[in-house]
Amino acid sequence: MKSIAVLGSTGSIGENALVIARMHPGQFKVRVLAARKNIKRLAEQAHEFRPDYVAIYDASLASQLRREVAPLGLQVLEGEKGICEAVQIPDLDLVISAMVGARGILPLFCAIRAGKNVAVANKEPLVMAGKLVMEEAAKQGAQVLPIDSEHSGLWQLLEGKEKGTIQKLILTSSGGPFFKWAGDFETITPEQALRHPKWKMGPKITIDSATLMNKGLEVIEASNLFGIPPERLEVLIHPEAIVHALIEFVDGSHLAHLSVTDMKLPIQYAMSYPGRLSNGCPRLDLAALEKFTFFAPDLEHFPCLRLGFEAAHADGTLPAVLNAANEVAAELFLKGKITFTDIPRVVEKVMSLHRLISSPTLSNILEADEWAREEALRFADLARVSL
């Protein structure tokens, strides 16, 4: 029986992690549930899974949550500090880190510092502070297990391989809703961008998938997770979204990871690792597929991917700046305040204004994050005035 904490339990990854826990009774004990603000759903989950702790990020909702879960006799913790406290409890085997955006970073560090194994679904910590995360995990003997599907694929492919035998890591992208888009990119609406052809995900990551910023962030994430420099990472567009990752060996041989597009698979592997559990998930039917296609990415229409590679090369505080500026820009786009093509414009502008710190501390990174958010808002405002 593994004791788990689910941070971001009311989001799409968190809900799926709980589906896995429900699917395998006797395998997982949910001891901590944490969410940002959806106390109604959090309380329902608490009633079902009976954890020892529930934590709410938005501290102003704590008293309401306490009333909702009062009959359960569990502990309610609040704010970032409360979540940090919850992940440090003894005998916790795995912390699933799935809080959207940069707010997951401190709880993740708290878990690693306490020597807990972490399954990371939110890519921001691995993008912003990936090297620090990996260093700290190595120091504490904690495992960092990826949930992001491409990284889960790479992780499964790389297991047991000598690093010196690896030539290249290849991540695939379905291309999102605007692969081979014939229309004007400037006029793309949030509704269009939210219609992802292959994956059902939260709104922020769906926008990132439409701009290909998601893949840019994933390049940085992969480089940090596996200690492979960005020049040995490649992105391929693969609209069928069956092959999630490939590795190329120095002798020219390739291995590929294939599965249906269901986030439950990478989530379950991180939860069951090093074992595997059978499940009722849909199976891959290769014979029913007519073809597999692969394309080089179109960096002209999707400059976010180029910016991702640039930030990966520059490293230091630049990935945090890219991530923060993008978070602001994606949000403004979702609210209808800037256009689709303004997203990379805002990000590139903020990156160009940043004074890079090459070997940053966590506080340097958090400062760069804050700075980039302000700059992105300021620049987006200017862009709006000139529209």
Contacting residues toward Mg ion, per CB under 5 A: 148-150
How many whole angstroms separate alpha carbon 382 and alpha carbon 33?
Answer: 41
Cβ contacts of residue 150 below 8 Å, gap of 6+? 171, 172, 218, 222, 244, 245
Could you identify the residue written with the tokens 């269901």?
262
Q: Compute the least distance from the CB of residue 102 to Mg ion, in Å.
A: 18
Q: Compute the least distance from the CB of residue 237 to Mg ion, in Å.
A: 14
Closest by Cα among 158, 162, 136, 163 to 146: 158
Residue closer to Mg ion (CB basis): 78 or 150: 150
Q: Compute the least distance from the CB of residue 339 to Mg ion, in Å.
A: 25
How many whole angstroms separate alpha carbon 135 and alpha carbon 336?
Answer: 40
Q: Compute the least distance from the CB of residue 84 to Mg ion, in Å.
A: 26
Residue closer to Mg ion (CB basis): 47 or 200: 200
Residue closer to Mg ion (CB basis): 39 or 241: 241
Residue closer to Mg ion (CB basis): 149 or 261: 149
Residue closer to Mg ion (CB basis): 67 or 294: 294
Could you identify the residue written with the tokens 């001891």?
31
How many whole angstroms separate alpha carbon 375 and alpha carbon 364?
Answer: 16
Q: Compute the least distance from the CB of residue 209 to Mg ion, in Å.
A: 8
Closest by Cα among 104, 131, 79, 61 to 360: 131
Run of H or E residues at 265:
helix 264-272
